[in-house]
Chains A and B, each alone.
Chain A
Amino acid sequence: MDRDLMRCRRSWVWSTVVSAVWLCVTPGASEAGARRFTYSYEALTHPRGEVEYEQWVTWKTSKRDDRTYDRLEFRHELEFGVTDDFQLGVYVSDWRYTDGNSVKDDGADWRNVAVEGIYNLTHPIADPLGLSLYGEVKLGDELFELEAKLLLEKDFGPWALVYNPTIEAEWEGDDFHERKGKFEQTAGISYQVMPQLMVGAEVLHEISFDEWSTQSDHAIWLGPNVSYWKDNWWITVTPLFQTTHVDGEPDFQLRMLIGIEF
């Protein structure tokens, strides 16, 4: 536990230092366009040369079988526009803090680093449907994960609609012997109230497969979202409420993303 906490602290300090140095040395801030959703991705990528820092915080609380359950997940991510169609993201560090009666080891633990790539194929305004391909590789002490998504988006005036089907393969444990698959779908709708303020709703649907065979219950969360941007920063928040009654899943989760563009 102490070792985990130390590692977590080291990781936090390291990622904060990297972020701070990056903020200091990167010249000339550009202006931002906010991410409209937190659980869903939009199809567009950053233009070539653009760099963005994203701070993720996700709070999950109150499982049906443990009302004392709380988990805070943190991600520190840097995104780079490599070309106008290809974006690379580096999760400098993912870590979390968990508490609750059902939790064996309360406290903080570092999870993983990761790399994600998004390649944009079609544009959500200029083409009939915006489409991007998403791939991600995560690596932790006892975790290896591959994830693939389709990012579908259609923009119509002030409205944006997105849909992301996702498939994940996960290997966990001492020698990565625990295998798990996950199918996830997210969808969202967002309306631009004014150029800097967007409101909408998101839905998240998850099914997991232990050892790629035992299927879990379907879990669905639904909730509103709001997004605001100004100059070179933006913030997006989505509270989600579980609409199903799955015991092992949180009844409520909230995700907040803050982005700073350079």
Chain B
Amino acid sequence: MRWVAALLMGMATLTVVGCMSLAQIAPPVDVLDRGVVGDSGIEVGALVRGRDHYLRHCGNCHALEPIGDYSEADWRGILPGMIKRCRLDAVKAEELRDYVMVVRGHLDRRG
């Protein structure tokens, strides 16, 4: 049973570390630049749901990619294929796209 305990400890450690790095991979909506969020005209609730879709669907076949690793143009090319692959409905797809673009805008503004 010792290896089971070690495994569960490992999972717990990774959970803590994982939560910290998730904020860098897909920043929570409340840390985004308010100007960028306001200018987007998208309601905060939709962005929060968009982040949830990102976390729940974009790491299922491969490791979750940090949004900052790709430009806005890259994401416009990547997202349609990935959305189709995840079989997201139109509403979820829209929320996911909006969230990624707002994060990209936030990162661009921060330089």
Residues of A at under 8 Å CB distance from B? 30-34, 44, 47-50, 123, 125-126, 128-129, 152, 154-159, 161, 163, 185, 187, 192, 195-196, 203, 229
* Cβ-Cβ contact count across A and B, 8 Å cutoff: 71
In the bound complex, CA of A163 to CA of B10 (Å): 11
Whether A161 lies near B18 (C-beta < 8 A) is no
Give B32-71 interface residues, CB cut-off 8 Å to A. Answer: 52, 55-56, 59-64
Tell which of A32, A159, A163, A203 touches B61, judged by Cβ atoms closer than 8 Å.
A32
Interfacial chain B residues near A161, Cβ < 8 Å: 7, 10-11, 14
Interfacial chain B residues near A50, Cβ < 8 Å: 87
Interfacial chain B residues near A30, Cβ < 8 Å: 84-85, 87
In the complex formed, the residue of B with least CB distance to A158 is: B63
Asked, given contacts A32-B61, A126-B55, whether A156 binds B14 with beta carbons under 8 Å apart, the answer is: yes
Q: Do most interface residues of chain B lie in helix, strand or loop, or is the interface mixed?
A: helix
CB of B92 to closest CB in A, whole Å:
10
In the complex formed, the residue of B with least CB distance to A128 is: B15
Query: What are 15 pairs between A and B in contact, CB < 8 Å?
Result: A33-B60, A34-B61, A49-B87, A125-B64, A126-B56, A128-B19, A154-B11, A154-B15, A155-B64, A156-B18, A157-B63, A161-B7, A163-B11, A187-B7, A195-B62
Interfacial chain B residues near A185, Cβ < 8 Å: 4
Whether B8 lies near A155 (C-beta < 8 A) is no
CB of A34 to closest CB in B, whole Å:
8
Q: How many residues of B contact A (CB 8 A)?
A: 26
In the bound complex, CA of A128 to CA of B61 (Å): 19
Q: Do most interface residues of chain A lie in helix, strand or loop, or is the interface mixed?
A: loop
Tell which of A48, A163, A195, A203 touches B87, judged by Cβ atoms closer than 8 Å.
A48
Asked, given contacts A152-B11, A192-B62, whether A163 binds B18 with beta carbons under 8 Å apart, the answer is: no
Report, nearest first, the 7 A-B pairs whose CB atoms are least far apart.
Answer: A33-B61, A126-B55, A156-B14, A156-B18, A195-B62, A158-B63, A47-B87
In the bound complex, CA of A31 to CA of B8 (Å): 32
In the complex formed, the residue of B with least CB distance to A45 is: B60
Asked, given contacts A48-B87, A49-B87, A128-B19, whether A123 binds B56 with beta carbons under 8 Å apart, the answer is: yes
In the bound complex, CA of A44 to CA of B60 (Å): 8
Whether A156 lies near B17 (C-beta < 8 A) is yes
Asked, given contacts A163-B11, A203-B3, whether A155 binds B85 with beta carbons under 8 Å apart, the answer is: no
